Amino acid sequence: MMSGAAVIPGTGNYITVSEVSKIYRNGTADAVEAVSSVSFEVKKGEFVAILGPSGCGKSTLMMMVGGLEKATSGAISVAGTAMTGPRTDIGIMFQDATLLPWKSAVENVLFPVRVLKRPIDTYWDAAHALLDKVGLNGFAGKKPHELSGGMRQRVAICRTLVYEPELLLMDEPFSALDAITRDEMNELLLDLWQQYTKTALFVTHSIREAVLLADRVLVMTRRPATIVEDLTMPFARPRTPAIGDSREFNEICAHLRRRIEHSHFGERHGSAAALAPAEAAE
Ligand SMILES: Nc1ncnc2c1ncn2[C@@H]1O[C@H](COP(=O)(O)OP(=O)(O)OP(=O)(O)O)[C@@H](O)[C@H]1O
Ligand SMILES: [Mg+2]
């Protein structure tokens, strides 16, 4: 079933998703097919963005790659090992990243270290360095309610990075932010990414965000989700958000938008409407 099981570091596929489907069964009555026979591969060090309308199964796919949900059929491997449950080499940033309200920013950043029962002292400096890097020096001792929404997201990014997971799974990490803060977060993530160069899967509704950040963009269709486009971005790194002004960038965005619209043509919910709120926020 699984292709490319043996992985040589630096080459080959790092993530292999092979004909994966997910059917949610709530009792016997209403089964929901959230993901339908999805296959794709990600190389080590690659940043892959997944675009798709709301409810098409993106979070479900991310949960399966992160070992938090079981696939109904098909196989997923990361770093040559089949996913059977959560793993410490995978860091996940969820759609609604919540911090522990009674803990300070730095304690929140160190939370995964505590969960993994690793020595806090070893990661203390790294946690502070990360907070500095995201512009939160001086805020390490603040509680979440003393921070803005954008600051809380930055703490959440630091929390995902603190124990240096090899794979980052980010599920619409910036969707709750206003457009300007979101642009700032994109720039920050671009910088962090270029320093850490981990492998990443990044789910978003925003075409521009995907094209700016990713090496490859996958387009998923409406439920049951399948992948209808796998496009390699032609932009060299390091990148800056200024590439968003280029003609090539905008042509790629237009192509992806058409691709998404085309893939939904004739379907019940339509497509432009499905992407409109997120696009309008850009
Ligand atoms: N635990 C669950 N039990 C039953 N159905 C579920 C469950 N989780 C998700 N679903 C259904 O599976 C489908 C895909 O949901 P999912 O959350 O993966 O979509 P999504 O693409 O992440 O959407 P969004 O962009 O709004 O976050 C939806 O129809 C949803 O109702
Ligand atoms: Mg989701």
Per-residue pLDDT of 216-244, as tens digits, reads 999 998 867 789 999 999 999 889 999 99
Distance CA 72, CA 76 (A): 11
180/70: higher pLDDT: 70
How far is residue 95's CA from residue 174's CA, in Å, rounded to a whole number? 8
Question: How are beta strands 47-51 and 199-204 bridged, if at all?
Answer: parallel
* 59 within ligand 1 shell (Cβ under 6 A): yes
State yes or no: pLDDT of 6 exceeds 70: no
Per-residue pLDDT tens over the stretch 14-34: 999 999 999 998 776 688 889
CA distance 15 to 200: 10
- Give the residue, by CA position, lying nearest to ligand 1 atom 28: 55
pTM to 2 decimal places: 0.85
CB 176 less than 6 A from any atom of ligand 1: no
State percent of the chain over pLDDT 70: 88
Between 193 and 214, the more confident residue is 214
Cis peptide before 173 (omega within 30 of 0): no
Hey, is 246 helix, strand or coil?
Answer: coil
Closest-lying ligand 1 atom to the alpha carbon of residue 172: 27
List, as ranges, residues with CB under 5 A of the ion ligand 2.
Answer: 59
Q: Would you say 241 and 190 are in contact if contact means Cβ atoms under 8 Å apart?
A: yes
